[in-house]
Structure 1
Amino acid sequence: MNKQKVRVRFAPSPTGALHIGGVRTALYNYLFAKQNGGNFILRIEDTDQTRFVEGAEEYIKKSLDWIGITPDEGPEQGGDYGPYRQSDRKSLYKKYADQLVEKGHAYYAFDSPDDLTQLREEYEKERKISFKYDATVRYQLKNSLNLSPEEVSTLIEQEVPYVVRMFIPEDDEVIFSDLIRDDVRFDTNELDDKVILKADGMPTYHLANIVDDYLMEISHVIRGEEWLSSTGHHVLLYKMLGWTERMPQFAHLPLLLKPEGGGKLSKRDGAKFGFPVFPLQWEEPSDGNTYKGFREAGILPEALANFIALLGWSPGNDQEIFSVEDLVKVFSLEQISKSGARFDYDKALWFNQQYIIHSDTQSLLSYIEDYFPNISGLASKEYLSKVLELYKERIHTILEFPDQALPFFSEEFEYDTKQIKKRYKPENHELYLDLFETINNTDPFEQRSIKSNVESFISEKETKFGVVLPILRLAIAGILQGPDLFAMMEVIGKEKTRKRLDRSLPIFQELKN
């Protein structure tokens, strides 16, 4: 491991919503930095202005903030290595592109996009293989390798658009060590002459991320598997610029796969299977659709962090519940899998349920107030807390709370008439009335005393719980599902309980008749 201080970066492009895979990348970088006493940096890579989406950068920052991944340096936080937005660093990159040209490691290419499109179509039609701008064609095209210095100067003076391309050496091999994938090798004959500076003067990802990583003293580059194929070019750029002594260590993370496997998880999978793939709700400008986020689905940020941490990483034992602080202590790049991890939303719901169960009720109450201000207006915080405490083990997401807990907030709930007809026995009608009276006479009206009186009643009447309790629950809540019935009656209170018992009587009387 490099002896320099650990400095890692999460470098998203503001081209749309932050995918859950990106959140995992940010989390792994954050955990690694904190574990090693290092710095976690947010860098916005907005060099591709053609794909820039208004609001995407702010969305990225809000998403990280929601899940609790706070940068030590970034556009908002500042730092000694800024600016942290690549569009604000534009003047830096041309200097290094020019250096590469001067050293013979890069060259000017004046081929127009139309020329290349036509060439690509002809090439692929004749040869039946994909066109690459590489050693096999570079000396046949309109670039500074084939033009005289005078011709190049004239074209530049005439402001003919040009790009700067890497000059990839032939018959060589690029080897680097990946902390997840061990030694990775590239045959340079398989690599194309990547564009490193575009016609608008902006760098491509390949140049910009190398220059920025070097100048920001990044020690480890932890990023998605999709960038593995580009790392051969990046290692060459470090060599060409003479920066190999400060080249970071690489770690390429496995993909997040569709629930059924067989491909990278996408927003279309979320739409197809009905689960979120973005941390927060996102309105997609390209198609006008609104995509629900994990937050809007009622998932707690701590649960989401725990869930995604285990998508591709294992602690080496059976433990599954980790706070972020716990993860900082045990996280290891060496324990990240090389193979992709299937996205299982049911597992995410399980994690969320565990966090709801073990969360402080008062902290959960803040979510209820945020999600459902109408419910908050119907009851005091004390009452809400009591109701929430009854449902913590019964709900998977915060969104399930209002529907399940409806009998606590409305006297206009509907009765499950199908269950009433199934459970009500006319011959027991007087028994039900006696039970209702026993409950009305209970004092103090607390869970323990209500339960004790009902148990005594059942014993005296020589009946069974299964005979009377379903009818009692249907009278109190309208449905058979719900938390402990006696705890429920205590929370509702004696007066409301009495009114509900009275309200149910005409329904039972009608069945009796």
Structure 2
Amino acid sequence: IRGEEWLPSAPLHVLLYEAFGWTDSMPQFAHLPLLLKPVGNGKLSKRDGDKLGFPVFPLEWHNPENGDISSGYREKGYLPQAVINFLALLGWNPGNDQELMSMEELINLFDLTKCSKSGARFDYQKGIWFNQQYLLMQDNMAWVPTFDKILRDNGIVSTPEQEAKVVEMMKTKVIEYFDNDGNKKKRNISFVSDLWPLTKFFFVAPEYNKEDKFVAKNWKENSAADMQQLAKLLGTLDDFSVENQKKHIDAWVENTGIHPWNAWRVALVGTGQGPDMYDLSAFLGKEETLNRIHSAIKHLG
């Protein structure tokens, strides 16, 4: 099985086998369609990956001649199962709409007669989607080794249990990023490394910025007074679980008419991102939650 660029020389190879008397051991030749550029015409090349920001090699490759580095799927955070599934469907399909398939399913379903005769365009965004799907299939603890390394690289030491809780709260969130043309886009978390920009506040208290759009909109004149009341209430709770916080805060909201959610998010996160406030507060614990509320009052007034 080889690429279609070998098709013109296939008759010559058959003649060579016949000339040497090797016809009994001559293989059956099959030719797969070429992988085409994501954009434009022609077959996929390393330069396409370098230009558009996706890996072409399985592992990071260092060119010994000029020192250039080409990224690899492993170093970019792709899961092996996702890459195999993605590549298997380039130029072939099982004859139905199924996209996610295990190695065993791919082996059982693969049939050369279902391979396309035309080139397969390399849709690297689809590869990212496959990785996201396979990440979500994993247990939260499977994310932890990679996430823990990212945290340690940023000077943060945590526990596997805490990290797994953060994964559970944030793994289905959306991230914002800039494409190679400088356009701002959004996509679901597709790599463990996507977690860090969205989860720093779990481990590091925010720096409050009055110019932040979410802060400017949601920290109002009465927010400091509301947060003082909330802090006083939270300070009386010995049980800081999600359920107990919800019980007491919901009752306080009903009695006072105060809706603290956005200002509370400003205090604990510093921006408009993050999980449910009860989940976040319970994760941070009573002391850290109160410290952040008082810090927000001090800095934002």
TM range (shorter): 0.7 to 0.9
CA deviation profile, 1:261-289 (whole Å, cap 9, x unmatched): 41111111111111111121111123321
SS in structure 2 of the partner of residue 386 of structure 1: helix
CA RMSD of aligned residues (A): 2.1
Q: What amino acid does structure 2 have at the position aligned with 1:312? A: G
- Per the TM alignment, residue 453 of structure 1 is displaced from its structure 2 partner at its CA by 3.1
Q: Retained in 1: the 8 A contact 2:265–2:277?
A: yes
1:438 to 233, 238, 246: 233
Residue identity over aligned pairs, in percent, reads 42
Distance 1:463-1:224 versus aligned 2 partners, 3 A rule: same
CA deviation profile, 1:41-97 (whole Å, cap 9, x unmatched): xxxxxxxxxxxxxxxxxxxxxxxxxxxxxxxxxxxxxxxxxxxxxxxxxxxxxxxxx
**Equivalent residue number for residue 494 of structure 1:** 286
**1:392 pairs with 2:185:** no
Distance 1:378-1:230 versus aligned 2 partners, 3 A rule: same
SS in structure 1 of the partner of residue 76 of structure 2: coil
Could you say which structure has the larger radius of gyration?
A: 1
Q: Retained in 1: the 8 A contact 2:208–2:300?
A: no
Q: What amino acid does structure 1 have at the position aligned with 2:248? A: N
SS in structure 2 of the partner of residue 249 of structure 1: coil
- Per the TM alignment, residue 370 of structure 1 is displaced from its structure 2 partner at its CA by 5.1
**Equivalent residue number for residue 202 of structure 2:** 408
Q: Retained in 2: the 8 A contact 1:299–1:398?
A: no
**1:259 pairs with 2:64:** no
Task: For 2:119 and 2:40, locate their aligned partners in 1 and report how far apart those are by CA, in whole Å.
Answer: 9
Q: Retained in 1: the 8 A contact 2:226–2:258?
A: no
Matches for 1:322-337 after TM superposition, within 5 Å: 322-337=101-116
The structure with the largest helix share of the pair is 2
Matches for 1:110-259 after TM superposition, within 5 Å: 222-259=1-38
**Equivalent residue number for residue 476 of structure 1:** 268
Q: What amino acid does structure 2 have at the position aligned with 1:451? A: K
- Per the TM alignment, residue 426 of structure 1 is displaced from its structure 2 partner at its CA by 0.5
- Per the TM alignment, residue 472 of structure 1 is displaced from its structure 2 partner at its CA by 1.0
Q: What amino acid does structure 2 have at the position aligned with 1:405? A: T
SS in structure 2 of the partner of residue 295 of structure 1: helix
Task: For 2:70 and 2:88, locate their aligned partners in 1 and report how far apart those are by CA, in whole Å.
Answer: 23
Normalising by structure 2, we get a TM-score of 0.86
SS in structure 2 of the partner of residue 311 of structure 1: coil
**Equivalent residue number for residue 355 of structure 1:** 134
SS in structure 2 of the partner of residue 482 of structure 1: coil
CA deviation profile, 1:241-277 (whole Å, cap 9, x unmatched): 2222332112211111111241111111111111111
**1:424 pairs with 2:216:** no
**1:310 pairs with 2:89:** yes
Distance 1:333-1:374 versus aligned 2 partners, 3 A rule: same
Distance 1:261-1:451 versus aligned 2 partners, 3 A rule: farther
SS in structure 1 of the partner of residue 29 of structure 2: strand
- Per the TM alignment, residue 498 of structure 1 is displaced from its structure 2 partner at its CA by 1.6
Count of equivalent residues: 284
- Per the TM alignment, residue 430 of structure 1 is displaced from its structure 2 partner at its CA by 2.2
Task: For 2:242 and 2:82, locate their aligned partners in 1 and report how far apart those are by CA, in whole Å.
Answer: 32
Q: What amino acid does structure 1 have at the position aligned with 2:264? A: L
Q: What amino acid does structure 2 have at the position aligned with 1:433? A: Q
**Equivalent residue number for residue 506 of structure 1:** 298
Q: Retained in 2: the 8 A contact 1:475–1:504?
A: yes
